[in-house]
Each structure stands twice: as C-alpha cells, then as structure tokens.
Amino acid sequence: MVLLFAMGPLQAQTGKYTISGYVKDEGSGEVLINATVTMQPGGVAVITNSYGYYSVTLPGGKYTMLITYSGYKTIQKEIELKGNTTTDITLAAGGKDMQEVVITGERKLRRTNTVGMGIQQLSAAQIKKIPAFMGEPDVVKALLTLPGVTTVGEGSSGFNVRGGNVDENLIIMDEAPVYNSSHLLGFFSVFNPDAVKNVTMYKSAFPAEYGGRTSSVLDIRMKEGNNQKYHVNGGIGNVFSRLAVEGPIQKDKSSFVVAARRSYIDVLAKPFLKAEDRNSTMYFYDITAKLNYELNEKNTIYLSGYFGQDVFGFGDQVKFKWGNTTGTFRWNHLFNRKLFLNTSIYYSKYNYSLAFKSDDDVQQGYDWTSDIQTYGVKPSLTWFASNKHTIKTGVNAIYYNFYPGKGEASSEGAKSQIILDRRYGAETAAFLEDTWKLNPQWQIQAGVRLNRYAYLGNTTVYHFRDTTPNVRKPLDYAEKVTSKKAVNDWVFFEPRLSLRYELKKNTFFKVGYSRTTQYLHLLSNTASPTPVDLYFPSTNNIKPSLTDQYSVGFVTLPTGLPVEISVETFYKKMDDLLDYIDNANLNLNQVVEADLLTGKGKSYGVEVEVKKETGKWQGWVNYTLSRSLRQTPGISNNDWYLSRFDRTHVVNSCVMYNRSEKWQFSANFTFGSGTPSTFPDSKLDIQGLPIPYNSTNKRNDFRLPAYHRLDVSAIMQGHQGKKMKQEWVFGIYNVYAHKNAYSIYFQQNQDEPEKKEAIRLSIIGSLIPSVTWNFKF
C-alpha cells in the first residue's frame, strides 16, 4: 500500500501514449508468455504476462521495437507513437516446424530479465531436448536437471525443491492445482508435453499471487491450439503413444487442442510375467484439452481440462485406480490498454479406489475409495500503471473437500463398512504486488499476500490430550459440529520482496525474501509417496506450516562469453512440519491426527549454474551444495537430523549439439549425494526373528552410495514432406548401466536363516534404450 501511495502521480503525463497488444506465435497464433519487448531509444523493456499481453507507455515519437523470445527469431519494428496504439506482434519460430530451439542470434535473458530469484522457465521445446527416460520428454524429469530440484530416487513420486517435502510444491495446470503429478508411480509425470506451452518454476521470492504451499510453485500453462490451421501430431514410443489434434474453430478467433496418451507397458511386459500375472493390467491414460475464443478485442475466454487415470488390475482379484481431474474456465478482459483482468474459476479432484475380490471358494471382497476436491476462483488485475510500475492485485478463494475414505468388506454374504467423516477447509487470500523500476539500476518487486484459512465444521472434531512425543495422543473427546462454520482459523500476513541491482551492464545482484504458509498435508511415511496417500487439512490439531525463505544471488552475462553465470544462496526456516509417530496408522483412521507430530526444519545451500543457450553447442552445468534438516520432538533424540531428501552435493550437466538440420545430439549427466538412511548397529533375536535395531536412535545418520547416471539421445529429422513431417528420437538412459541404490534394507537369508544380509535395491538396474517416432501433419 505504502508503495502505491509513494508512486506519485499515476496518470499518463501529457504527451505520453500507450502501446499495447499481444505477442503471438506466427504459425499457431499461440500467445507467447514472457516475451521481451524493448523500446529504443530509452531502452524501456517489458515482459508479456501469462496471457502474452504487454503494455508500455512512452512520450510520443519514433521508436524501434525489439521483440525477443527464446527459440524465436527476434524482430524489429519501427513505430511512430502519436496516440494510444494496439499492436499485436507475431514471431516466427527460429527453425523448421519440428525442430527444437535454435539460435536466435539474440541473447536470451532469463535470470537477468526477472526481478525475483529462483525462477526458471522451460518451454515445451526445451523439455523435448533433454534426454528422457524411455524417450518420452517429461516436465518433471526436465525440472530435475535444474539446480535445487531433486527426488529421492527413480520411480519415486513427485519432487523436492530446496529441501522441502513433495507436498510443498504448488503444481498448477492452467491455475487448477494438481495433487498427484505422477503416472506409473513416479516414472512419468501427468503433463502431456504435446499440450504444454510453458513451464515456470519459482523456488523462492514467490510472486504474491501464489500461496498455499511453502516450497515451490510450478506453473504449467497449456497450449491454446493453433488458430491458423489444423495439425495432428503424435508419437509412438516404448512405453506409450501420444496423439494431439489442434486447429482453428474460427480462424484468428478461436482454436482448440486435444491431446491424449495411453501407455502399453503392460502389453509389452506380458510375455515376461507369470501365467496368472498375464491377466494383470497396468496402464495409464490422460486427455488434455483446451478451447479458447476471442469474443472481441477486449475479451477472450478459455476452457481447459485434464483427465488422467492409472489403472492397475490383476485378473478379477485386484482393481486399483487413481487419477486427477481438473477443469479451468478463464476470462481475460482488457478494461483499457493498461488494465488487464484475468478471472479463473477452477476445479480439481484427485481420487483413488482399490478393490479386492477373492478368486477361490471363499467369497470375499474389499473396496476402498478416497478423494480430495478443490474449487477455486481467482480474479487478478494487472495494471501497467507506468513504465516504472506494474501492479498486480487480486483475490483468491479456495474451498477444499477432503474425503479420507470409505472401506467396505464382505465375506460369504456378510458385509460391513466404515465411512470416515469428510473434512472441509476454506482458504481466502488477497494480494497486491508492485514491480517498480526505481531507476536504471534498481528494480523492486514488493508484494503482500493476506491469507485466511479456516478449518470448517460439518464433521467430527477431535480433541486430544497431550502426551509424550512420539506416543499416540489419547482422545479426550470428540464433538460433532453440524454447521459449516469455522472450527479454527488462522490469518497470515505474507510479505514477498525481491530487489535487483545492476552492478554493471548485464551483471545483477539480487536479494529476496518470502513467507509462505500451507494448510494441507500429504500423509505419507514411506520412502516415497504412494498413490493412496491421503491429503489432510490443517485442523484444530495440525497447525498450518510456515516457511520463511531468504535468498541472495547474482547473475552475469560476461562480455565476450556467450554464457550466463549465476549464483544463488538460500536459507529456509520451516515451522510446523508434519511427522509421524512410530507405527502411525494413516489408513482409514478416523483419529489419524493422534498419530501426527509437528516439528521444524531448515535448509540452506548455494546453487551455481553456467549456461550456454546459443550456438551449435548448448548446455549447462549446475552444482548445488545444500542441506535439509528436521527437528521433531520424540524423533532422533530430539536432535536435528537430515531429512530423507537431503542431497548435499548435486551436479547436473547437459550438452546439446545441433549438428545439422537433420541431427541433434544431447547428453545429460547427473551426480548426487546418496539419500540419508538409517542403518542398524545391533540386532534383537525375538522368537527367532532377527530385528534390526539402531541403539543410537539417530535417524538418517548414514547415506546411500552416491547417485550418478549418464543419458544420451539423438534426434533425427526424418522425411519432411509437404504434408507430413517425421522425427525419430533415439535414446539410452543410464548409459553405463549404473545400479543406483534406491534403498538398502536388511534381511535374513531365507535358506540360511542365521545369515543376515544388507540388500541394495536398484530400481533401474541396467541401461534402457528407447526409440520414439514422432509425426506431424
């Protein structure tokens, strides 16, 4: 607010005019997010918003507009500003249709053109260039090549950002939250790269418009679809096939895109399975669709949706399904050249069901279902107040409906069931943020977010008595709250601040601070989250978690070197993180809150990255040195211990070689400290069972061996016909077949029970070759 008043006169001064419009892809009509528009003389530069819109206000006169966007040819446009002007700009992709990002001749500024730190963007084209598991480009796998983003191992769900838990990432697809980002447990993510336009990840200094998670924001924008002509593209690979159709509904006005995938790993695996396992089904599919319609110059509406499901079956005996459903309606409205309104209304659901049936002479069955549903509305207003100030403000209301589950068992005609009470939560927020170009050296992005979270009634509210930490809390009393009024509520004031100072040309020093809070938690006490883990709200027994993050860094484009060098350091302080008592019962447990503990955490580190994104040879190397620690009363002697996702040293490097228009090669190497683990130092023999025991009680005091892996891929442009264009992607994942440890566990030898063994489990135990054929017509 202070900033608003400090801004002085906001009216356009006499003789000043606004030029505004959309920056779009020439071929498809898709708007381009974060394209840079620079006006010369004067050097005023602005970036298009999430809807491709820009607005600059300047004194009248002649200008040269320079529009740049990564992977596109930079264009120059001479204009004479005599009055307010609307100019839509179209950019041509830098290469042939099927070809990936090529040299634009223009230096791409990423870390340098944003005020905030910890922001990384990937376009669909970039994601497709990184060697991928099974040859399938994947959003989450691509993110893992960025500094500060890790997982606990192959096949594990989700990802960890700067020492935060998997559930602390706000993953939004066209504004709708996605609760489980993984297919086939963790081997693939749910985002179909054929339908993804742009991926932005915020690891710190979060813009004020985002809230509700403490670790990161992954903002995924779907493609709008080509509004010029019809296209069909797809691919056939080892694991799944893809097909996408896009085209205009009304040329220049409206378009659609529908993209679908279906895996067939189960079909391929069949010959290798036991006869009785051959009845098993295991696949996933997803459909992503989007429609947009430009009502008139000032109004555009979008409708987008996602539906995906993983299915696992085993004859008639086991049927297990899980998946996300999201839907978003958006309305862009231009009040005037400087005032841009976007209103999003969204819905998201994650559900799973699990059914068992006996296949022998005793008729028995078991069914289990659970879900989480979210409804949200978010109007936000961008005001290009002046060339110095861009103000973003809005509100966000979210309603949560948690269904912890229903279980139903039957046996020989008898039936019984348990239905857990639904839980409800409401989150309301208002935000205001000003991006202020103080002078040529200083830029400030200052914002506040005011959050209120209420745990709502119409459920049973449990009250527990205090006890020794790490012991199940005894139930004091339960009360049935019939109305939907707030049982508990919290109000949080979240300041967000980023400062950027240009030390010298193309060398920037940055500082950031953000506070974030979180009101829902994934209940999971296994090595990696499972698809049947529950999301549970903050309640009268579980406080919302809160994180403060401080970061400092610099980025430079050294003269004479075509690289970007950046260094970022961060320190995160986390409060009220969830943990579990030993032997916690997280399944169909009405009083699950009795088994939860809260503790605190901290993480800190430095991320160094050198990147080259132009020329025949491109690539990056990044190194992260960081720690992630937890302290929970009752665990690890109440001392600080390493979190399961602490990876002290991580190196990612990627090299891409654009040999010719026909061939492109890339290689990706990753190294990371092994994840912390707890090993036994002794053994109890109880009733003939050798029970591993850790007499120090310290958690995660050891580490698995370091993780490293090399992947390579080659992309060959096949026949580029007038109608159909083809592309082949060859890849080898884990080239030197390193058996990376996912876990080490301890067992007795079954044949020689007196012998005890340490066993290393590697999820990927060999190299994995892949071939994918892509087509487009």
Partner 1 sequence: MRNKAIKYISVVLLGASLTACERVIDLDLPDGSGFPYVDAWITDQPRVQTIKLLKATEYMSQTAPEAIGDAQITVTDVTAGKSYPFTFQNGAYNYDATSTPIGVVGHTYKLNINWNGEQFEATDELKRSSIIDSLTSEFKKADGEDKEGYYVKLYAHDPTGGIDFTWIRTYRNGELNYHVGEMLSADGAFGNGDDNLSDGFAFIPPFRDGVTSGEKPYEKGDVVEVLFRSMSKPSYDFMQQVQAQLTNDGLFGKVLTNVPANVVNQQSTSKTKIYGWFGTVAEVSASKKVE
**Would you call 449 helix, strand, or coil by DSSP?**
strand
Q: Which is nearer to partner 1, 407 or 562 (CB)?
A: 407
Q: What is the C-alpha to C-alpha distance for residues 103 and 94, in angstroms, rounded to an integer? A: 7
Judged by CB under 8 A, the residue of 249, 759, 771, 777 near partner 1 is: 759
Instruction: Give yes or no for a contact between 106 and 96, defined as CB atoms under 8 angstroms apart.
Output: no
Instruction: Give yes or no for a contact between 400 and 425, defined as CB atoms under 8 angstroms apart.
Output: yes
Q: Which is nearer to partner 1, 660 or 687 (CB)?
A: 687
Residue type, 612: K
The torsion angles phi and psi of 754, rounded to 5 degrees, stand at: -75, -15
- In angstroms, give the least distance from the CB of 126 to partner 1: 27
Q: Which is nearer to partner 1, 379 or 407 (CB)?
A: 407
Check residue 753 for interaction with partner 1 (CB under 8 A).
yes
Applying the rule CB under 8 A, the residues between 131 and 190 that interact with partner 1 are 155-156, 184-185, 187
Check residue 495 for interaction with partner 1 (CB under 8 A).
no
Q: Which is nearer to partner 1, 286 or 579 (CB)?
A: 579
Applying the rule CB under 8 A, the residues between 643 and 662 that interact with partner 1 are 644
Q: Which is nearer to partner 1, 27 or 155 (CB)?
A: 155
CA distances to 206, 208, 436, 515 from 550, rounded to whole Å, are 11, 15, 20, 9
Q: Which residues are bridge partners to 729 per DSSP?
A: 715, 772
Residue holding tokens 């490293």?
708
Q: Please give the torsion angle defined by the CA atoms of residues 486, 519, 423 and 524, in that order, rounded to the nearest 10 degrees.
A: -160
Residue type, 175: E
Check residue 765 for interaction with partner 1 (CB under 8 A).
yes
Q: Which is nearer to partner 1, 691 or 771 (CB)?
A: 691
Check residue 691 for interaction with partner 1 (CB under 8 A).
yes
Instruction: Give yes or no for a contact between 733 and 145, defined as CB atoms under 8 angstroms apart.
Output: no
Check residue 269 for interaction with partner 1 (CB under 8 A).
yes
Q: Which is nearer to partner 1, 482 or 687 (CB)?
A: 687
- In angstroms, give the least distance from the CB of 589 to partner 1: 6
Check residue 3 for interaction with partner 1 (CB under 8 A).
no
Check residue 638 for interaction with partner 1 (CB under 8 A).
no
Check residue 230 for interaction with partner 1 (CB under 8 A).
no
The torsion angles phi and psi of 621, rounded to 5 degrees, stand at: -135, 130
Stretch (H or E) spanning 565:
strand 564-580
Token pair for 541: 């027994």
Check residue 686 for interaction with partner 1 (CB under 8 A).
yes
Check residue 637 for interaction with partner 1 (CB under 8 A).
no
Residue type, 597: L
C-alpha neighbours within 13 Å on the C-beta side of residue 349: 12
Applying the rule CB under 8 A, the residues between 380 and 419 that interact with partner 1 are 407-409, 411-412, 414, 416-418
Instruction: Give yes or no for a contact between 74 and 106, defined as CB atoms under 8 angstroms apart.
Output: yes
Q: Which is nearer to partner 1, 87 or 694 (CB)?
A: 694
Instruction: Give yes or no for a contact between 776 and 725, defined as CB atoms under 8 angstroms apart.
Output: yes
Applying the rule CB under 8 A, the residues between 87 and 126 that interact with partner 1 are none
Applying the rule CB under 8 A, the residues between 571 and 590 that interact with partner 1 are 582-583, 585, 587-590
Applying the rule CB under 8 A, the residues between 289 and 328 that interact with partner 1 are 312, 314, 317-318, 320
Check residue 771 for interaction with partner 1 (CB under 8 A).
no
- In angstroms, give the least distance from the CB of 628 to partner 1: 15
Q: What is the C-alpha to C-alpha distance for residues 373 and 351, in angstroms, rounded to an integer? A: 8
Q: Which is nearer to partner 1, 273 or 491 (CB)?
A: 273
> Segment contacting partner 1 (CB under 8 A): 10-18, 201-209, 498-506, 523-531?
523-531
**Would you call 560 helix, strand, or coil by DSSP?**
coil
- In angstroms, give the least distance from the CB of 756 to partner 1: 5
The contact mask relative to partner 1 for 711-750 (x = CB under 8 A, - = no) is ----------------------------x--xxxxxxx-x
| Cis before 41 (ω within 30) | yes
Pair type for strands 85-86 and 16-25: parallel
Check residue 479 for interaction with partner 1 (CB under 8 A).
no
Judged by CB under 8 A, the residue of 336, 467, 540, 766 near partner 1 is: 766
Check residue 467 for interaction with partner 1 (CB under 8 A).
no
Judged by CB under 8 A, the residue of 276, 297, 479, 661 near partner 1 is: 276
Q: What is the C-alpha to C-alpha distance for residues 590 and 774, in angstroms, rounded to an integer? A: 49
Q: Which is nearer to partner 1, 117 or 420 (CB)?
A: 420
> Segment contacting partner 1 (CB under 8 A): 211-219, 350-358, 457-465, 547-555?
350-358
- In angstroms, give the least distance from the CB of 497 to partner 1: 37
Q: Which residues are bridge partners to 225 per DSSP?
A: none
Query: What DSSP string describes 316-345?
Result: TTEEEEEEEEEEEEEEEEEEETTEEEEEEE
Applying the rule CB under 8 A, the residues between 416 and 455 that interact with partner 1 are 416-418
- In angstroms, give the least distance from the CB of 215 to partner 1: 21
Instruction: Give yes or no for a contact between 735 and 712, defined as CB atoms under 8 angstroms apart.
Output: yes
The contact mask relative to partner 1 for 538-577 (x = CB under 8 A, - = no) is ----------------------------------------
Check residue 693 for interaction with partner 1 (CB under 8 A).
yes
| Number of residues forming the site for partner 1 (CB under 8 A) | 103
**Would you call 5 helix, strand, or coil by DSSP?**
helix
3-state secondary structure 198-235: EEEEECCCCCCCCCECCCEEEEEEECCCCCCCCEEEEE
Pair type for strands 231-236 and 216-222: unpaired
Instruction: Give yes or no for a contact between 431 and 393, defined as CB atoms under 8 angstroms apart.
Output: yes
Pair type for strands 169-173 and 216-222: parallel
What's the gap between Cα 549 and its chain centre?
19
Q: Which is nearer to partner 1, 40 or 682 (CB)?
A: 682
CA distances to 159, 595, 634, 639 from 468, rounded to whole Å, are 33, 12, 8, 16
Q: Which is nearer to partner 1, 373 or 470 (CB)?
A: 470
Q: Please give the torsion angle defined by the CA atoms of residues 101, 105, 108 and 113, in that order, rounded to the nearest 10 degrees.
A: -150
Q: Please give the torsion angle defined by the CA atoms of residues 189, 195, 198 and 204, in that order, rounded to the nearest 10 degrees.
A: -30
Instruction: Give yes or no for a contact between 774 and 232, defined as CB atoms under 8 angstroms apart.
Output: no
Judged by CB under 8 A, the residue of 430, 768, 769, 776 near partner 1 is: 768
Counting other chains too, the contacts that 689-694 makes at CB distance below 8 Å and 24 or more residues apart are 690/748, 690/756, 692/746
- In angstroms, give the least distance from the CB of 644 to partner 1: 7
Report which of 219, 34, 39, 40 is spatially closest to residue 114, judged by C-alpha positions.
34
Check residue 527 for interaction with partner 1 (CB under 8 A).
yes
- In angstroms, give the least distance from the CB of 158 to partner 1: 13
Judged by CB under 8 A, the residue of 74, 428, 694, 726 near partner 1 is: 694
- In angstroms, give the least distance from the CB of 127 to partner 1: 23
Judged by CB under 8 A, the residue of 87, 358, 401, 726 near partner 1 is: 358
Check residue 264 for interaction with partner 1 (CB under 8 A).
no
Check residue 482 for interaction with partner 1 (CB under 8 A).
no
Residue type, 707: Y
Check residue 532 for interaction with partner 1 (CB under 8 A).
yes
Check residue 697 for interaction with partner 1 (CB under 8 A).
yes
Check residue 631 for interaction with partner 1 (CB under 8 A).
no
Q: Which is nearer to partner 1, 2 or 275 (CB)?
A: 275
Judged by CB under 8 A, the residue of 682, 724, 771, 777 near partner 1 is: 682
Q: Which is nearer to partner 1, 343 or 638 (CB)?
A: 638
Judged by CB under 8 A, the residue of 27, 315, 680, 718 near partner 1 is: 680
Judge residue 475's burial from the number of C-beta atoms within 10 Å of its C-beta, 0-12 exposed, 13-18 middle, 19 or more buried. middle
